[in-house]
Amino acid sequence: MHKVSSRFAKKYCFCLLAVLLFSTSSPFVQAQNENSPEEGNRTFQYHTIASLGDSTLGSDPSGYRGPFASVHAANLMGLDYYEGAVGGDRSWTLIDAGRHTTIAENYGNGTLVTMMVGAWDFIDSDVEIITGDYSFIDELDENITIILDTLVASEIDVLVWNLPNMSFLPFLTQIFPTELHHYFTEASNEWAIRLNQIVERYGDDVQIFDLMTASDDLLQNKSARMILGNEVTSPPMVCAKNCIMVDSLHPTSVGQGMIANYMMEAINEKFPPP
């Protein structure tokens, strides 16, 4: 009887070890599909995270703004990383350069694209925005739809970021007087609503990362900038009030790491680990 129990225990330990080795050698995340219970759990097995958008997500010759949040996510998930984001990209320059088609043609199922597009579209339309004219959002809507259509057609999953509250962006607040800043808040909210409507059309293939809420939290709440009881700060020559922004447009490397924490929550919400 003792020999049988011992043999069973050894067999059980061997099986458990095999399961552990498989799970560590093949990183994956799993999502519950509540709308289709007959399908059970959907398993998403990724090999690559690819960034797409402007310099908040990639293209940093200075080195002060990286590693980017997408790089942190790739490292945490044990995945390869492809940097497709280019500094200064507008939604139309991204399309004209074919950056979305490059990813679609070279990657496919097993790729998660992290994408933030539109900050420069806002900045280019700043004069119209301060008059309450938000018509640029219609063109941004069309361009984002073109990009998402291309990626989803290649069976690529997308985590699309909305924009921070642009009235908090130093680049704009330094140009326009305080009494006009509310127009940028209104335009930012309008775009967040529109982006939610766009994403709804793609079902499980596209997920929103609410950067607006995350950035508001980091910029306005000291508690969000605390690590082990200490507030993240930096010398004034880098960033005057905190170390979230390195300049008037971009988060610092530390800010990117903090944003990555919020982004991982968004990924795990739809693609929770098993």
Residues 245 and 256: their CA atoms lie apart, in Å, by: 9
* pLDDT at residue 36 greater than cutoff 50: no
The predicted pLDDT at position 21 comes to 29
Question: What three-state secondary structure class fits 177?
Answer: coil
* pLDDT at residue 23 greater than cutoff 50: no
- Pairing label, strands 29-32, 48-53: unpaired
Banded pLDDT at 129 (limits 50, 70, 90): very high
The domain 46-213+257-270 belongs to what CATH superfamily? SGNH hydrolase (3.40.50.1110)
Banded pLDDT at 234 (limits 50, 70, 90): low
Q: How far is CA 94 from CA 65, 85, 140, in A?
A: 21, 9, 12
* pLDDT at residue 198 greater than cutoff 70: yes
* pLDDT at residue 70 greater than cutoff 90: yes
Banded pLDDT at 202 (limits 50, 70, 90): very high
Please return the burial class of 186, using the count of CB atoms within 10 Å of its CB with bins 0-12, 13-18 and 19+.
Answer: middle
Residues 263 and 132: their CA atoms lie apart, in Å, by: 31
Rg of the chain (C-alpha set): 21
Q: For the chain, which residues make up each domain, given as ranges?
A: 46-213+257-270
Which strands make up the sheet holding 111-116, listed edge to edge?
A: 80-83, 48-53, 111-116, 157-161, 206-209
